[in-house]
Amino acid sequence: MKEFEMLSALMKRGADFLQVKYPIICGAMTWVSEPNLVAAVANNGGFGCLAGGNAPTEILKNQIAEVRKLTDRPFAVNLITIAPAYQEHLKMLADVKVPYIVFAGSFPKENEIAIAKATGAKVLCFASTVSIAERMVKFGADGIILEGSEAGGHIGHVSATILMQQVLFKFANQIPVFMAGGMATGKMMAHVLLMGAAGVQLGTRFVMTEECVAHKNFKEAFIRANARDAVATPQYDSRLPVVAVRSLRNKSMANFGALQLRLLRELEEGKIHRQAAQEEVEKYWIGGLRKAVIDGDVDYGSMMAGQSVGLVDRIMPIAELFNELLTDGEATLQEVKAKLQ
């Protein structure tokens, strides 16, 4: 990578860790990150994550085999710790053995990380506070994904700029940290690498690639959207805790308010238990995601997208996306170098 000389130097640690050319991760996206996308990312020198999501175990197993048919490069499987088949997914991975496992949803238990590592996989975990990062490192995580609330899908409460100062600066020398949430341009990538990140994870931008199988309505909505259209869902009342979802404003987003109010009323009247109410909320978003990504229903589907949707207005092949990120990243480092001389 002579032409990306400075960038390569900063990327080396993350590239070695992920065993890829570029430590640019295509984050797992339920329904979106299927075998074709994962393999296409890998074959272009990046790192793909197959979304385990709520998939039945047999389907996930077949998808892993499919990825392997399409690429011989490393990839990860993303497990959602709150998914109904989570424990089964974990067991299945002991048989099929994948090189990397990413835990998402909530935070994995120590024995779950141990099970994952016993399969020979390297383990990546999300960590949104210093204490969670400390716990994940203690449990044996090999890498951390630090995702700001700008990201698409289920999100935490804190923006990337704050997380960088709280977690990245503290842990960057100890463990590879991959920054996610709004990392959509080569310029941003160069700057977070300078700040100590081992690499970046992008989601929204990979939706806008030719290789992504999402319905064309889904992609076209991304083209039209501005950053302010990717809004986070509020929680109305602490009796019904909901994990915030960042999604494009549409009828489904508007109706979510009514759903929360109905569930709160039913909770008050003792007609539903809290867990069942929370499950209904989850079903609303995950079921809606299939509707949006596969069926192309942009009104009533969940249009999960990060605020970086406002930085992108074109669908391109993955090779072109990587070339753009690398070229702009290297140019940014040249500018930084010139400023310091």
Ligand X SMILES: Cc1cc2nc3c(=O)[nH]c(=O)nc-3n(C[C@H](O)[C@H](O)[C@H](O)COP(=O)(O)O)c2cc1C
Using CB under 6 A as the criterion, which residues of the chain lie in contact with ligand X when the complex forms?
Answer: 27-30, 32, 51, 53, 78, 104, 147, 150-153, 180-184, 201-205, 304-306, 308
Q: Which is nearer to ligand X, 122 or 205 (CB)?
A: 205
Q: Which is nearer to ligand X, 45 or 310 (CB)?
A: 310
Q: In this chain, which residue has its C-beta nearest to ligand X? A: 203
Handedness of CA 301, 108, 184, 30 (dihedral sign): negative
C-beta of 80: minimal distance to ligand X in Å? 6
Long-range pairs, 187-192, Cβ under 8 A, ≥24: 187/328, 187/329, 187/332, 189/24, 189/325, 189/329, 190/7, 190/10, 190/328, 190/329, 190/330, 190/332, 190/333, 190/336, 191/332, 192/164, 192/168
- Which is it for strands 153-154 and 177-180: parallel, antiparallel or unpaired? unpaired
> For residue 5, which amino acid is it?
E
- For residue 233, what is the DSSP state? P
| Contact in structure between 103 and 111 (CB atoms under 8 Å) | no
Question: What tokens does 341 get?
Answer: 């001389």
C-beta of 229: minimal distance to ligand X in Å? 13
State whether residue 183 is helix, strand or coil.
Answer: coil
- How far apart, in whole angstroms, are the C-alpha atoms of residue 18 and residue 46? 9
Q: Which is nearer to ligand X, 196 or 203 (CB)?
A: 203
> For residue 208, which amino acid is it?
M
C-beta of 160: minimal distance to ligand X in Å? 9
C-beta of 275: minimal distance to ligand X in Å? 21
C-beta of 4: minimal distance to ligand X in Å? 21
Q: Which is nearer to ligand X, 102 or 240 (CB)?
A: 102
Q: Which is nearer to ligand X, 180 or 272 (CB)?
A: 180
Q: Which is nearer to ligand X, 176 or 272 (CB)?
A: 176
Q: Which is nearer to ligand X, 112 or 150 (CB)?
A: 150
Q: Which is nearer to ligand X, 27 or 108 (CB)?
A: 27
C-beta of 239: minimal distance to ligand X in Å? 27
C-beta of 147: minimal distance to ligand X in Å? 5
C-beta of 176: minimal distance to ligand X in Å? 16
The residues, ordered by sequence, that sit 6+ positions from 23 with a Cβ below 8 Å of its Cβ are: 11, 13, 14, 15, 17, 47, 178, 198, 199, 200
Partners of 25 in the β-ladder:
47, 201
| Contact in structure between 285 and 299 (CB atoms under 8 Å) | no
